Structure 1
Amino acid sequence: MISALRFRWAQLRNRSTELAPYYRAGRADLARDYRQARMLALDLELTGLDPQQDQILSIGCVPIEQGRLQLSQAHDQVVLINGEVGDSCTIHGIRDRDMAAGIPLAQALSDLIPMLAGRVLICHNARLDLAFLQQGLRRCFGQGLPLMAVDTLSLELKRFAQRDETPKADALQLGRCRARYELPNYPGHHALVDAIACGELLLAQASAMSGRHTLSLGRLLR
């Protein structure tokens, strides 16, 4: 089984030069304690919720090293889209005129790939972010990446389940989740701000789960 996985990794690594930096870094060590792991908190602003039809408007991310957010390495990029921003502007505040600071999706993803290399993503509602990332990678480079993401929303849902509680409709929103850990309230729907907020939430959640004990990256991914 291990040999088969290594063979598959080598196959994928050799198919796209644009994706080469990701594969050169190797896979994240899931047995490593989260405080020693290399992670990347990431958020996307979107024109809608359908990765087949909607588009990525902006990408925000910040690395996490040794259990600390590396704000000096934070990344925030507007992405050019086909067409107009439309009604989604009322959510994220990105206007058509803001597209002047944008770059094509292929370039934005090329810039992002080295940041993804060797790291596990941290997202709030990871399924949505991963769906848009994979769709973009396939469109731009012909294939996706074997990305792994810890979902802070799922971790919080498990917390409710352990207490045999059913969360209210808005209880899993990023700001509401942060409030339960006494984290400050940040304005939402800005990719970089939400990425920072998500990274801080993950560290608070992991600390509550582990105390002074070891908590592996693999356990957070379950």
Structure 2
Amino acid sequence: MKLFFAIVALTAHLVAMSVNIDKKPLQTMTNKSYETATLGAGCFWCVEAIFSKLKGVYKVESGYSGGKIANPTYREVSSGLTGHAEVVQVTFDPNEISYAKILEVFFKTHNPTTLNRQGADVGTQYRSVVFYHSAEQQKVAAEVKSMLDSKGIWNDRIVTEIVPFEKFYKAEDYHQDYFSNNKRQPYCQMVIVPKLNKFEEAFKEYLKE
């Protein structure tokens, strides 16, 4: 189903490449010390839309990580045969938002207890995964996962993988800023909008103005 919406989006992108509906650009990057978080939480359209709204986040890119072939296409990843997960690569200022807070948002805006699935999106490409970029990120990810598990927020145990980052392949252009550019698409209205509403209510003090 999601592949169908992707094909529709690609067609629209080619027809009107320059159109952005109510799009708010991310803050301008300066010569600060930034960190990177690479996260998989199901469909990257949803995850990108969420993290783009956080204070301290300066860039969010949709792409693929954790697979066994170089430069995979969306169609190849969607087959489930390449081993990649749909991910977002988040560039953030740790002086404005901590990696622990990034992870809290990550865990609480998807279901980290379902293996290789988020809602109707099923397959290893939709697995819940944290790709850590340093030993410190690995430590923080394990701590946040353990802390949330102990709180019993979900009925089942968290199955999120915490694995070392190797390579990020940026997804095709029509996947970038997908929600901003396709707000009227059925998938956006039925899946992304409800997630965004819950996120904005839960993390209102961390939203960009």
TM-score normalised over the length of structure 2:
0.25
TM-score normalised over the length of structure 1:
0.24
Higher strand share: 2
Higher helix share: 1
